[in-house]
Chains A and B, each alone.
Chain A
Amino acid sequence: MKIRFWGVRGSFAMSGRDFLRYGGNTTSVELVADAGQRLLIDLGTGATELAKQLMTGEFGKGHGTVPILLTHTHLDHIQGLPFFTPFFIKGNQIRILGAAPSEMTLEATLQNQLSPHYSPLNGLENLAAGVTIETIIPGSTLALPGFEVMTAALPARLDVDHGLPDHRRWPDRGVPVRRRVPIGRRAAPRGARARPGRRPVDPRRDVRRRRV
Chain B
Amino acid sequence: MQITFWGVRGSYPVPGAATVRYGGQTSCVETRTASGDTLIVDAGTGMRALGNKLLRQAPEPQHHHVLLSHVHWDHIQGLPFFSPAYVPGTQISVYALQTAADELHQVIGGITRHEFFPMPLESVPASFDFHQVEPGVELDIAGFHIIPIALNHPFGSVGYRIDGDGSSWAYVADTAPFTEVLHKQHFLSGLEPLTGDDRLALGAMRDALVHRLIGVDTVVYDTHFLPDEYAQFPHYGHSTPDQALDICCEAGARRLVLYHHAPTHGDDQMDRIAAEYLARGARRNIEVLTSFEGMTLPVGPEAA
Contacts and interface: CB of A to CB of B under 8 A. Distances in A.
Given A16-B20, A23-B16, A79-B12, A126 B73 contact: no
B24 A162 contact: no
Interface residues of B, number: 47
Interface centre among B23, B116, B119, B123 (most CB of A within 10 A): B116
B107 interface: yes
Nearest to B70: A117
Nearest to A118: B73
Interface in A111-156: 112-113, 116-123, 126
A122 B15 contact: no
Interface in A1-55: 9, 11-17, 19-20, 23-25, 45, 48-49
A89 interface: no
Nearest to B7: A15
A60 interface: no
Contacts of A123: 187
Contacts of B189: 126
A9 to B, nearest CB: 8
B86 A164 contact: yes
Nearest to B17: A20
A62 interface: no
Contacts of B123: 170
Contacts of B230: none
Interface string B114-125: 111111000101
Interface of B is mostly: loop
Given A24-B16, A117-B100, A117-B102, A82 B114 contact: no
Contact of B24 (A15, A83, A116, A161): A15
Contacts of B71: 117-118
A96 interface: no
B11 interface: yes
A15 B73 contact: no
Interface centre among A9, A121, A122 (most CB of B within 10 A): A122
Contacts of A49: 16
Contact of B83 (A20, A118, A165): A165
Contacts of B237: 120
B107 A117 contact: yes
B46 to A, nearest CB: 10
Nearest to B20: A17
B15 to A, nearest CB: 3
B128 interface: no
B235 to A, nearest CB: 9
B118 A158 contact: yes
A82 B77 CA distance: 14
B12 A80 contact: yes
Interface in A85-127: 101-102, 104, 109, 112-113, 116-123, 126
A164 B83 CA distance: 9
A45 B20 CA distance: 17
B186 interface: yes
Contact of A15 (B15, B117, B155): B15
A201 B236 CA distance: 47
Nearest to B9: A15
Interface in B141-178: 154-155
Contacts of A11: 81
B187 A121 contact: yes
A31 to B, nearest CB: 22
A174 interface: yes
A24 B116 CA distance: 20
A15 B118 contact: no
Given A16-B24, A117-B100, A117-B110, A101 B115 contact: yes
A120 B15 contact: no
B104 to A, nearest CB: 10
Nearest to A52: B264
A101 B113 CA distance: 11
Interface centre among A16, A24, A48, A112 (most CB of B within 10 A): A16
27 contacts: A9-B15, A12-B81, A13-B12, A13-B13, A13-B15, A13-B45, A14-B15, A16-B24, A19-B15, A24-B13, A24-B15, A25-B15, A45-B12, A48-B263, A73-B115, A79-B12, A83-B11, A102-B114, A116-B154, A117-B107, A117-B110, A118-B71, A118-B73, A122-B187, A123-B187, A173-B114, A174-B118
Given A112-B110, A123-B187, 15 more contacts: A12-B48, A15-B15, A16-B23, A17-B20, A45-B14, A73-B116, A75-B111, A79-B12, A101-B115, A102-B114, A109-B115, A118-B76, A120-B154, A158-B119, A173-B118
| Interface pairs A-B: 4 shortest CB-CB | A15-B24, A24-B15, A158-B118, A122-B187
